[in-house]
Structure 1
Amino acid sequence: MAKVLIATEKPFAPVAVKGIRKIVEEAGFELNLLEKYTEKSQLLTAIADVDAVIIRSDKIDAEVLDAAKNLKIVVRAGAGYDNVDCEAAKAHNVCVMNTPGQNSNAVAELCMGLIIYGLRNFYNGASGRELAGKKVGILAYGYIGKLVAKYCKAFGCEVYAYHPRRTDEQIKADGVIPTHSQEELFEKCDIVSVHTPSRPENKGCVNYACMSKIREKGIILNTARKEVFNEEDLIKVMNERTDIKYITDIQPACHEKMVAEFEGRYYATPKKMGAQTAEANINAGLAAANQIVKFIKNGDETFRVN
């Protein structure tokens, strides 16, 4: 009997765990739980004899993989998977998957709230601006980017997108205007929403060359990862362009400096909350369970990332 572990320092909602258990046990597998653990040693012990593990933001590194003698698959319930050492997993012959699309609506709705929050001057009582009629740019046109584009169009925005692996035809099919570089996207838009995934080649890719080109009174929004921004360039642009705002769901390393120097033009959520909705929590957990069952029973690797 295959053993599946849910290892979550920040647990799934009880209803999500109940749904995961139903999927796993109906497949004839055993489900184990490790929730709210405080020491890595607890994870090392719990993972020792399992065939599969479902995680959230929990770290799976070489040490954990060394301890997991029977492990065949790790599923990160969510889109980002930089908390998993994919190369080490590959070396251990362990498949790594994410659950793309399951958190997308939660993040996209947060984007809309943050955009309006910025346009209305963080609700400080001063006269703000409306979203209708603005030119909105989507940097990385994936699951989340597509939804942000859809919602912005509903607000009456003209939407642009840049994605290095999407054709013009694919982008135009959604009624969105394609651009062919990050610089072009920023130059054409009043608001740019960044959804670039955290990969080695993307580190610091949102830089001075593009950020400095955003239109007057522009808003730069980041609900992706802090690593994709060049923070030195961000500070430089914020100093030079006193008309623009930076809003983020991920506090940058320079957070304290940003707070001190750019009052009224900078906002960061207290902690990353893009996917923190009850619905996303459930959707991602159930998707992870279904992917594990399909992988173990049928060898399905549809969402493999390593």
Structure 2
Amino acid sequence: MKVLIATEKPFAPAAVQGITSELKNAGHEVVLLEKYTEKGQLLDAVKDADAMIVRSDKITPEVLDAAKQLKIVVRAGAGYDSIDTAYAKGKNVVVENTPGQNSNAVAELVFGMLVYAVRNFFNGKAGTELKGKKLGILAFGNVGRNVARIAKGFDMDVYAYDAFCPADAIEAAGVHAAKSQEDLFKTCDVLSLHIPATPQTVKSIDYRLVNLLPKKGILVNTARKEVINEEELLKLMAEREDLKFITDIKPDADEEFKKFEGRYFSTPKKMGAQTAEANTNAGIAAARQINAFFATGDTKFQVNK
């Protein structure tokens, strides 16, 4: 089978080598399309591909229509909102992700940004410590669980809420289970977002919810920028000079947020999975899933059933 690795933002060279080895050892042909600048390049490359590995690349109906032989697309990472999964299902194309492979990288970034924030962005003035603070985790999946693990090392008091994870499962992980989103925001000094972008969550992090944070609260977003109601958060930050907002997904209103100097920080681009380890882990997992699909029909990680 021909497997296309299509990455506008390429994997690290070591990851490409590992992915290629996995696929070739299983008898597949590998085609590499990196740093493409026009959709036409992707449309041309996908014409005779049986499988694709992508990162944050947009797999639209146009791309899927061009891929006449395509049977499976694997997103090397957890989020797959860049792929039109419903349209793919209509064309009998399996879409998979690689959950958990980037989780530790994202969780470590949360704390890198948090230390930076509580120390006043290293401006020379006295800051605060994370020890003893209450950390709230909204969504207790792979990333949320890693955030909880690291938070315990900082001796933080950890809370979580997840509409799809039973309270007893959260408690079993040594984390306090909040009764609701509102309860989580009211209780915690720091609130870390790990929810996907869905019709239910888009713009759900709004004025009402964030305003529940205690004084000097910190909102951390390493999930999706779409979950933030930017207009309402800007309004709230103008009213509450104690709030901080830190994110690794630059908001559309980045320039407006920048006026809150000392209370806002965004990385230049999305950095959650940008480690050599995560890069390699997710890519090799994607290759192995493609191998399993063609060898045995395995669709364990399918997201468009």
TM-score range, shorter chain: over 0.9
Indicate the SS of the match to 2:242: coil
Residues 52-71 of structure 1 mapped to structure 2, 5 A cutoff: 52-71=51-70
For 1:272, the equivalent position in structure 2 comes to 270
Residues 1-20 of structure 1 mapped to structure 2, 5 A cutoff: 2-20=1-19
TM-aligned CA deviation for residue 75 of structure 1: 0.5
Q: Which runs of 5+ in 1 are unaligned?
A: none
- Compare 155-164 and 174-183 and name the one that shifted more: 174-183
CA distance in structure 1 between the partners assigned to 2:206 and 2:301 by the alignment: 30
- Residue 183 of structure 1 contacts residue 209 of structure 1 at CA under 8 Å; is this kept in 2? no
Residues 195-206 of structure 1 mapped to structure 2, 5 A cutoff: 195-206=194-205
CA distance in structure 2 between the partners assigned to 1:79 and 1:181 by the alignment: 24
For 2:84, the equivalent position in structure 1 comes to 85
TM-aligned CA deviation for residue 281 of structure 1: 0.6
Question: Are 2:240 and 1:222 equivalent residues in the alignment?
Answer: no
Indicate the SS of the match to 2:6: strand
The number of residues matched between the two structures is 304
TM-aligned CA deviation for residue 232 of structure 1: 1.8
**TM-score, normalization by structure 2:** 0.98
1:122-147 C-alpha deviation (Å, 9 max, x unpaired): 11011100000000000111101101
TM-aligned CA deviation for residue 153 of structure 1: 1.0
Residues 259-298 of structure 1 mapped to structure 2, 5 A cutoff: 259-260=258-259, 262-298=260-296
Indicate the SS of the match to 2:21: helix
For 2:256, the equivalent position in structure 1 comes to 257
1:48-71 C-alpha deviation (Å, 9 max, x unpaired): 011100001111100000000000
Q: Which runs of 4+ in 1 moved over 3 A?
A: none
Q: Which runs of 5+ in 2 are unaligned?
A: none
CA distance in structure 2 between the partners assigned to 1:206 and 1:145 by the alignment: 17
Indicate the SS of the match to 1:200: coil
**TM-score, normalization by structure 1:** 0.98
TM-aligned CA deviation for residue 151 of structure 1: 0.6
TM-aligned CA deviation for residue 209 of structure 1: 2.1
Indicate the SS of the match to 1:202: coil
- Compare 202-211 and 93-102 and name the one that shifted more: 202-211
Residues 1-306 of structure 1 mapped to structure 2, 5 A cutoff: 2-260=1-259, 262-306=260-304
CA distance in structure 2 between the partners assigned to 1:89 and 1:238 by the alignment: 41
1:250-290 C-alpha deviation (Å, 9 max, x unpaired): 11111111112x11111111111111011111001000000
CA distance in structure 2 between the partners assigned to 1:156 and 1:279 by the alignment: 26
